[in-house]
Amino acid sequence: MIDTAETDVLILGAGGAGLCAALHAADASPKLRVTVVVKGLLGRAGCTRMVQGGYNAVLTEPDSLEAHLLDTLAGGGFINDQELVWTLVTEAPRRALELEWRYGCLFDRTREGRIHQKPFAGQSHDRTIHKGDLTGIEIMNRLAEQTQARPNITGLEECRAVELLRDDAGRAAGALVLDIRTGRFIAVAARVTLLATGGGPTMYRVIACSADKAADGIALAYRAGLSLRDMEMVQFHPTGLVIPGSLMTGALLEEGLRGAGGHLKNGLGERFMERYDPERMERSTRDLVARAAFLEVAEGRGSPNGGVWIDVSHLGAEVVEKNFRGMVKRCRDFGRDLARGPVEVGPTTHFMMGGVVIDTTCRTAIEGLFAAGEDTGGVHGANRLGGNGVAESTVFGGIAGDVMAEAAPGRPLPRITSASLEAAVRRLTAPLARAATGDLYDLQRGLREVMWEKVGLVRDARELTGALDAIERIAERLEGVGVPGGPAFNLAWQDWLNLESQTTAARLIALSALARRESRGAHFRRDFPAGAPGPLVSVRVQERAGVPAVWEEPVALTRATPKGAVAASSMVEIGD
């Protein structure tokens, strides 16, 4: 039996994008019923809470909106959607002030009382707003408090969206939701729906993102027939902790350490960034620094446990302990003293720059379906600058909330047919009906290993082709895997559902990586080395007749053009 529910605005995900959308929609009209579906607990799940570094916004001169635009485009290899980037940089200052004045966030201040902005890599000005090195906790705590204070917002905690629903005309109709606690399905009919589950590349072996992520939004969008862009662009952060034998390997030491003057050294004690970016050194972009660390290890110059060293001790223990309390504590939990000596770090899988194609109002190609945050592509291009992630989520989440609040009253509540629901439930509950096998976690480990080794920081056609074959075999074997127990709070079943989403996203990443025959940003092909980038194109992928279609579309240079349209780091000309 499938339970039913109705709402005006359905929000799938409760990170920065989802909660900002909920607040904006609820405040636009107190009569609107707003329902937020969250895989964990409201305000306690997802990746926004894990943000250490900060929030990019232009607040004072000599910084400018144009400078933020150009930094983001240069960092993204100029394959960004420039209108989305312009929306980000123009709205971020207003949203940052809204977070303080309307929702109660308290960001760090200078002695003069201004919001403090610190340096981050790849940026021409100090523009990263922060709350120490625990910015995400501050933002999420305040957003969650505000959400709970609004009577027209309802949270469905420990629930996950498992299928996007459509009406007879093909318009968005809501979502099929699984209550993890009870194992029951709920068909939630909605006038408008937001996809904001947060990507999360957890299909890799070493990760920095929240472990509750499984790229569910990407899989939902793909099955719904939406076009996705630049899925090959997966960000590897250069400084994840290296803790042998611990699942905490990959946990971030944020970019502010490098921005403050931290040094990266290889196993020989050399500041190896001199070889890769002698001008910016450790303040180079994440893609370049992560790849440099990877190559140092690959060429035999790594630290004892296969990483490199980050050292901020020369800044002084008092300075480090005052400004980076969260990271100092995290390191001490594992017997490392960040304030007084070097700490072993290495690249860790962090963020998905690719995702659903949207316009500047967060609309997708499906009427009534919106998307925001890490489920979307186009803002960051080939590489995300630190501090642009939480800005993107809150900016576009707020926009989506405003637009949905305006659109919802004009749309009738859709009718959902039981036949489509029953077919989806049969597919999703199939593992419960099969005899339990021991393959699930072997397949999970296999996918993570394949993605790390063959679709990681350095790629080529042979390895990508091999990865696709391996992913297909994993997906086929998954179809025969059974899980023990009933549907209520069955963690094995939840992991099966996670792995289904992860294999879908992994396939799209590998296919897109094979299609992009150049090196750009986070996507490095050893068979198409850097220095000879191809034309400025977006790689698109979409489900057609049960198989993925992959093609390229030229990037629209609506606001800035790299001179010669060759290198992402070249000087640019500003459009009108």
Distance CA 338, CA 344 (A): 10
Q: Is 389 found in the same domain as 306?
A: no
369 forms beta bridges with 193
Q: Last residue of some domain: 348, 374, 397?
A: 348
187: confidence class by pLDDT, cuts 50, 70, 90: very high
Inside any domain, residue 125: yes
**Mean pLDDT (whole number) for 400-425:** 92
CATH number at residue 325: 3.90.700.10
Which residues does 547 contact at the CB level (< 8 Å), separation at least 6? none
DSSP H helix total and E strand total for the chain: 14, 20
- Phi then psi for residue 479, to 5 deg, are -65, -20
Q: Is 25 found in the same domain as 67?
A: yes
pLDDT at residue number 16: 96
- Helix, strand or coil for residue 384? coil
Tokens (6 digits) for 158: 């420990």
Q: Could you report the per-residue pLDDT of 385-412, keeping only the tens digit for each?
A: 999 999 999 999 999 999 999 999 989 9
Distance CA 457, CA 451 (A): 10
237 is catalytic: yes
Q: Could you report the per-residue pLDDT of 188-234, keeping only the tens digit for each?
A: 999 999 999 998 999 999 999 988 999 999 999 999 999 999 999 99
Q: Which helix (H) or strand (E) is 190 found in, with range?
A: strand 185-195
Structural contact between residues 323 and 329, judged by C-beta atoms closer than 8 angstroms: no
Inside any domain, residue 234: no
Structural contact between residues 307 and 346, judged by C-beta atoms closer than 8 angstroms: yes
Distance CA 90, CA 72 (A): 13
Inside any domain, residue 549: no
Q: Is 376 found in the same domain as 326?
A: no
258 is catalytic: yes
pLDDT at 365 over 60: yes
Inside any domain, residue 233: no
pLDDT at 572 over 50: no
**Mean pLDDT (whole number) for 86-108:** 97
SS (H, E, C) 436-498: CCCCHHHHHHHHHHHHHHHCCCCECHHHHHHHHHHHHHHHHHHCCCCCCCCCCCCHHHHHHHH
pLDDT at residue number 565: 59
Structural contact between residues 474 and 174, judged by C-beta atoms closer than 8 angstroms: no
Residue whose structure tokens are 């910084």:
63
- CA dist list (Å): 171 to 177, 221, 314, 326, 500: 18, 14, 58, 45, 25
pLDDT at 569 over 50: no
**Mean pLDDT (whole number) for 41-51:** 87
**Mean pLDDT (whole number) for 521-549:** 90
pLDDT at residue number 279: 94
Query: 384 lies in which domain range?
Result: 2-197+215-226+363-410
Instruction: Kindly report whether the global pTM for this prediction surpasses the value 0.85.
Output: yes
Structural contact between residues 505 and 219, judged by C-beta atoms closer than 8 angstroms: yes
Tokens (6 digits) for 424: 């989806």
**Mean pLDDT (whole number) for 332-358:** 95
Pairing assessment for the beta strands 2-12 and 234-241 based on DSSP bridges: unpaired
Q: Is 143 found in the same domain as 259?
A: no
What single-letter DSSP state applies at residue 101? Answer: H
CB atoms within 10 A of CB 423: 11
pLDDT at residue number 573: 41
pLDDT at 353 over 60: yes
Q: Is 337 found in the same domain as 248?
A: yes
Q: Is 258 found in the same domain as 221?
A: no
Inside any domain, residue 91: yes
Catalytic residue among 160, 258, 448, 540: 258
**Mean pLDDT (whole number) for 170-175:** 96
Catalytic residue among 125, 142, 160, 237: 237
Q: Is 37 found in the same domain as 12?
A: yes
Structural domains in the chain (count)? 2
pLDDT at residue number 531: 66
Tokens (6 digits) for 369: 């379906």
Inside any domain, residue 246: yes
Q: Is 44 found in the same domain as 162?
A: yes
**Mean pLDDT (whole number) for 102-116:** 95
Inside any domain, residue 298: yes
Distance CA 508, CA 203 (A): 12
- Helix, strand or coil for residue 12? strand
CATH number at residue 156: 3.50.50.60
Closest CA to 10 of 192, 155, 240: 192
Q: Is 333 found in the same domain as 275?
A: yes
Q: Is 253 found in the same domain as 145?
A: no
Encode burial over 252-290: b for 16+ CB neighbours within 10 A, e otherwise: bbbbbbbbbebbbbbbeeeebbeebbeebbbbbbbbbbb
Number of Cα atoms under 13 Å in the Cβ half of residue 115: 23
Q: Is 396 found in the same domain as 315?
A: no
Closest CA to 117 of 77, 44, 67: 67
Distance CA 73, CA 485 (A): 50
SS (H, E, C) 216-277: HHHHHHHHCCCCEECCCCEEEEEEEECCCCCCCCCCECCCHHHHCCCEEECCCCCCHHHHCC
- CA 153 from chain center: how many Å? 25
C-alpha distance across the termini of the chain, in Å: 57
pLDDT at residue number 379: 98
Inside any domain, residue 48: yes
Q: Is 101 found in the same domain as 187?
A: yes
Q: Which amino acid is at 36?
A: V
The overall average pLDDT reported for the chain is: 94
